[in-house]
Structure 1
């Protein structure tokens, strides 16, 4: 696998990465494949976090020598692109669309959230992605088709899809962080007491009113749906 000229140490020609063969061009056929390597890396990231994904660990998972992996992924950035595209393959791309672009876009956003919650390393990874693989392009094609009734040109629809994906990634990153913080009940209780004292000091009336408000469900699902609805319903179709 060759690097793209002028892109620096981490650059790989996307045509070779995504359109080339899933095996080195020279030497005998190996006992593993790029798909197996990528699946092992995804499983490792799911179980231990993206920090655990190193070429050495992935090689050990598939029973290969470290150097042999570089024929498939010459650097960790390329491996991350492969991992993202592999994971995105779980998202449906053939389900029929309703023709109601708001309803379809909200459904896509909910699927993205559920998908990222299954792979908590994805929110940060998609922000650093350098190349779009075939599974990602298939999902993007599905989303752009869902947005066709909005009446905007292709470039505007692409911007909306990027905005939705960025929103979902940021929200899931926040959810994951809050869930991890909640694993320490002592810390969570201390934070609640702190905010209660601040709200009662008379210097933060807006915060006091917000904390005293009731009636809105605060489950993660309900909060996400409220934010998603504000985003989608606020899009200007003019």
Structure 2
């Protein structure tokens, strides 16, 4: 394990010994993470986050901040852990596996919508914190007693997560009304009005799409189909 990974493990999982030297600690890791999240949410995502800006928001020097967090990579790991939240399904014991996974996926989508920079911060090999692993644990537990193997349950969670990420990513790329990305969609609709006879199926599909809840429709459709497929596999295993 490299030194950077070791620092991430220490910051996410502890222990957190107090500095042996220097002034008495005035910051907390949670507070530092919240400052980074505030900057990322209000700016240009992770690109707007720097040790200098976080230090300024906390009213400390950058050198003082380095006493707690060695660099931006470790800061981002703390931000992910802070933004992901806890208890995606507090009423899990009262639900069946399908409702559990449906609620889990929608909660994950809500987190990504609140903090779009998480899409960039949660790619590639990395160390995960206790809260993030607790989310995975809940999704896996939902499939207890279904007859699926551990590997299949892991694959199911990956499949659900990938669908949620793709839908939120597309919504982020489209942007709010009035942005260049949104205008491209408007332009496509206008082109189909003029040249629709060449693309009748595409024109009909665009006409039937609801403009204000396209991402919700995409989330619902894919989520239902994934759960339908899991249901068939579970039913097959029970026979």
TM-score, normalised to structure 2's length? 0.82
1:37 counterpart = 2:32 = yes
Deviation at 1:117, TM superposition (A): 0.8
* CA deviation vs aligned residue, 1:37-59 (integer Å, no higher than 9, x gap): 10100111111122111111111
Match in the other structure for 2:93: 97
Deviation at 1:82, TM superposition (A): 1.1
How far apart, CA to CA, are the structure 1 residues paired with 2:165 and 2:125? 13
1:75 counterpart = 2:74 = no
| Cα pair distance change 1:187/1:223, threshold 3 Å | closer
Residue among 189, 194, 199 paired with 1:192: 189
1:20 counterpart = 2:14 = yes
Verify the 8 A CA contact 1:81 1:129 in the aligned structure 2.
no
Verify the 8 A CA contact 1:217 1:223 in the aligned structure 2.
no
More helix by share: 2
SS of structure 2 residue aligned to 1:233: helix
Gaps of at least 5 residues in structure 1 are none
Match in the other structure for 2:228: 233
Choose between structure 1 and 2 for higher RCO, CA contacts under 8 A separated by at least 6 residues: 2
Deviation at 1:34, TM superposition (A): 1.1
Match in the other structure for 1:114: 110
Deviation at 1:76, TM superposition (A): 1.7
Match in the other structure for 1:134: 130
Q: Aligned residues, how many?
A: 228
How far apart, CA to CA, are the structure 1 residues paired with 2:228 and 2:84? 26
